Amino acid sequence: GGELRSDCDEQLLITIAFPSAVKLHSIVLEGPGSAPDEIRLFLNRTAMGFDDAEAEEPLQALPLDEARRSGAPLLLQYVKFQNVSTLTLFAPSNQEESEVTTLHRLRFFGSVHDTTNMKEFKRV
Cβ nearer to another protein, comparing 8 with 124? 8
Residue from 20, 51, 121, 123 binding another protein (CB under 8 A)? 51
The Cα 37–Cα 34 span in angstroms is 8
- Phi then psi for 17, rounded to 5 degrees? -105, 125
Q: Among 21, 45, 42, which Cα is nearest to 91's?
A: 42
Q: Which stretch binds another protein (CB under 8 A): 22-30, 44-52, 58-66, 98-106?
A: 44-52
CA trace torsion 35, 88, 40, 74 (10° rounding): -70
Cβ nearer to another protein, comparing 8 with 67? 8
Q: Is 49 in the site for another protein (CB under 8 A)?
A: yes
Q: Among 2, 55, 59, 67, which Cα is nearest to 28's?
A: 67
Q: Which stretch binds another protein (CB under 8 A): 8-16, 70-78, 87-95, 101-109?
A: 8-16
Cβ nearer to another protein, comparing 10 with 37? 10
Residue from 9, 54, 56, 65 binding another protein (CB under 8 A)? 9
- Give the three-state DSSP class for 60: strand
